[in-house]
Amino acid sequence: MIDGQLTESDKELFGQGMQFKDFTAQPAQVKTVKLLPQNQSIIEVTIHEGKYHQVKRMFEQVKKTSAPATSGTNWATPIR
């Protein structure tokens, strides 16, 4: 879940990959699953690596605040 909504520009940035000080994130797929009241959104992110709090840092780069998943909720399905 994030505060706000992703724009098409935000989605393009995820799709291009992002540069951080300590690594470059590979391109990610992102889509809005559901818009919630109080200007929040449930987002699905597909990544091919998971480095150093990558998803949180990707949302910070597009100026969105991500909330941690609620305990006991399966928000992510790792694919190995």
Residue type, 51: K
Predicted pLDDT at 72: 40
Sign of CA dihedral 36, 3, 15, 26: negative
Predicted pLDDT at 50: 82
Instruction: In whole angstroms, give the CA distance from residue 64 to residue 5.
Output: 8
Residue type, 24: T
Predicted pLDDT at 70: 45
Predicted pLDDT at 73: 47
Instruction: In whole angstroms, give the CA distance from residue 16 to residue 63.
Output: 17
Mean pLDDT by 10 residues, the chain (80 residues): 93 95 93 92 89 88 77 46
> What secondary structure does DSSP assign to 9-56, as a single string?
HHHHHHHH-EE-SS-EEPP-EEEEEEEETTTEEEEEEE-S---TTHHH
Predicted pLDDT at 49: 85
Predicted pLDDT at 30: 94
